[in-house]
Structure 1
Amino acid sequence: MEISILNTTKLKNVPSGSGLVKRDNLYYVIGDDSPYLFTLDTNFSLISKTLLIDTAPHLNERIIKSEKPDFESLELISKNEMVAFGSGSKSPERDAFIRILLEEDIQIERYQITDFYNHLKTLPLFQDSELNIEVVAFQDEQLFLFNRKKNLILTFNYLNLLAYFKGETDFPVHDITEFSLPKIKGIEAGFSGATTLKNQSKIIFTASVEDTNNAYDDGEILGSFIGMINIKNHKVESVYSYCAIPNTAEKLKVESVTIEEEISLGKTKVLLISDDDLGNSTLIESMLLW
């Protein structure tokens, strides 16, 4: 696997980019300290923003760390539906699930999912881990939630999980897989973004490395990776391929990935978004080969 960077674009008025989705000729972005869903055109110019959650007062579009919902994950479910999750790394501020309905006007459904996150914390693989949901991906009715450090992927049937969030059913059946990711300077990368290919049963994921020992505090940015995981029988396989994402003028903390174009088998143009922990967001057009 190899990735080459084609172009980079600094985003204006879109802070702390953490989630990215392409839908037709529009791009949707969330930031981990912003209450908005940002809509961009094909030139990556901001054309609108939609309030996702009512929050404490914010300055220059950014919410103070102790109050932020920490939106880290965004994914397209269907042509007319997206979902976003708060990370759950601080309760109750970050215990949010947002369902975004892309009709003529964007409609927002908001759910407080503290009970769901508390249940995850009781699972055996979470016993020596922090809860930090950084990524969501979707394919064939299956929703994949990625926890960062410990690196876990939880697989749910999306409609069953949505029914649980609505209070219509018990905690749904799920599958959970643990991963060991590559390291930089002895520090293991943590899942940061993902999406699925449309023409293959594969997840493209990103992972980044920060010099920090917990899910709450930022640390020195050391670099990022991109990789691929196969899906078989609606479950993720535990093996993966990967390569390092080359740094630009600065070390990249890549936060999310979306598909620009599946050119051919083994060749896909992807768009990444990075966050420098200072509130700046950069889009990175890249070509991925495997």
Structure 2
Amino acid sequence: MLSTMSFPFSLKLLSDKFFPDIPSASGIAYTGGTYYVIGDDAARVFCLDTQWNIVSTITLTDFEGYRIPKPDKADWEAATLVDIKGVRYLLALGSGSKSPQRDLAAIINLTVQPLAAELKQTGTFYGRLRSEGLAALNIEACAAIDNRLLLANRGHLAHAYNTLLLCDHAEIWAGDAHARQIALLLPQAIGTFNGISGLAYDPRTDRLFFTTSAEATSSTYDDGEIGESMLGVVLNAGQRLKEKTIVPDHLVHLSSVSALFYQQKIESVCLVSDGEDETIVLAADNDNGSSHLFKLKIVDQ
């Protein structure tokens, strides 16, 4: 059984919604009243309003089917908002778990209509990560911290390591991008691997939120049986990211918040602030071609 640590606040499930028509949600970001959802085998970004109605999509590739076949997909696993040269972008990253198909980034300028994606090659940067010890590359999450980009590399049973990668800037497709590796230590259970799946940084409180999901697989390519998902927090993240190893300050089983989280493979987390209210939105992909969103309220204790 995976262990947990006491949480500094209580969590209450406010709402959830199942999406049979959004494939494989693996990344979510929110700004200006719009949620942006990416799927690891989706050809489009799905744009949702505050009531989680699909209002538009943004094309990533010209594939016309519902789910891109596994050998061909870019494996869009990570999404966040970044500021580049004073312009706000939505950034999506391929996992890098298969080269060159998954050595990609997509940037979407959110200040220009209509919204359109520009694809960037990340092969040079991902190749550098592989040569620096991350042979089992599997980028699952990203978050902007100041002018830098934090990535999360997920391990598996045969490579039982979760690694945070603090990049010196957000434009990792540029040739001069470098990253420092930080080991993230998570509790593990026999027969499955508890891997990091989502990241979100709150600059107001300097808290780094992350999600994990347990899966019985020994590969960055193949899926396995789904286990527990968890939500964790690293406090004083700006300072903690200077360390070589991080042990989370708090972890909670999401199934202890609501039974609806049972066997939900949580893939991403984003923070939504509305005045004094702060909520966490989680995205689940259960490897069956559908998606599920959950909204949780944070109540500080």
Is 1:133–1:147's contact at 8 Å kept on the other side of the alignment? yes
Is 1:35–1:69's contact at 8 Å kept on the other side of the alignment? no
Give deviations 1:61-83, integer Å, cap 9, x for gaps.
21111111100000011473111
| Shift in CA distance, 225/114, structure 1 to aligned 2, threshold 3 Å | same
| Shift in CA distance, 12/186, structure 1 to aligned 2, threshold 3 Å | closer
**Corresponding residue to 1:121 among 103, 124, 130:** 130
Deviation at 1:234, TM superposition (A): 8.2
Q: Which amino acid in 1 is paired with 2:150?
A: F
Is 1:272–1:283's contact at 8 Å kept on the other side of the alignment? yes
TM-score between both structures, scaled by the size of structure 2: 0.85
2:115 — aligned with what? Answer: 106
Q: Which amino acid in 2 is paired with 1:155?
A: L
Distance 1:95 1:243 in 2: 33
Deviation at 1:236, TM superposition (A): 5.4
| Shift in CA distance, 184/248, structure 1 to aligned 2, threshold 3 Å | farther
**Corresponding residue to 2:68 among 56, 63, 67:** 63
**Corresponding residue to 1:158 among 156, 161, 169:** 169
Give ranges in structure 1 of 5+ residues lacking alignment: none
| Shift in CA distance, 269/82, structure 1 to aligned 2, threshold 3 Å | same
Give ranges in structure 2 of 5+ residues lacking alignment: 1-6, 156-160
Q: Give the CA RMSD over aligned residues.
A: 2.2
| Shift in CA distance, 254/111, structure 1 to aligned 2, threshold 3 Å | same
| Shift in CA distance, 13/179, structure 1 to aligned 2, threshold 3 Å | same
**Count of residue pairs the alignment pairs up:** 276
Matched, 1:143 2:143: no
Deviation at 1:139, TM superposition (A): 1.7
Distance 1:96 1:75 in 2: 15
2:60 — aligned with what? Answer: 52
Give deviations 1:64-115, integer Å, cap 9, x for gaps.
1111110000001147311110000011111101111112321322111122
Is 1:77–1:138's contact at 8 Å kept on the other side of the alignment? yes
Distance 2:46 2:241 in 1: 32
2:29 — aligned with what? Answer: 21
Deviation at 1:180, TM superposition (A): 1.9
Distance 1:141 1:199 in 2: 15
**Corresponding residue to 1:254 among 266, 274, 291:** 266
1:278 — aligned with what? Answer: 288
**Corresponding residue to 1:178 among 175, 178, 183:** 183
Distance 1:65 1:142 in 2: 31
**Corresponding residue to 1:217 among 203, 222, 226:** 222
1:30 — aligned with what? Answer: 38
2:158 — aligned with what? Answer: none
1:198 — aligned with what? Answer: 203
Is 1:184–1:222's contact at 8 Å kept on the other side of the alignment? no
Q: Which amino acid in 1 is paired with 2:26?
A: S
Identical-residue share of aligned pairs (%): 32
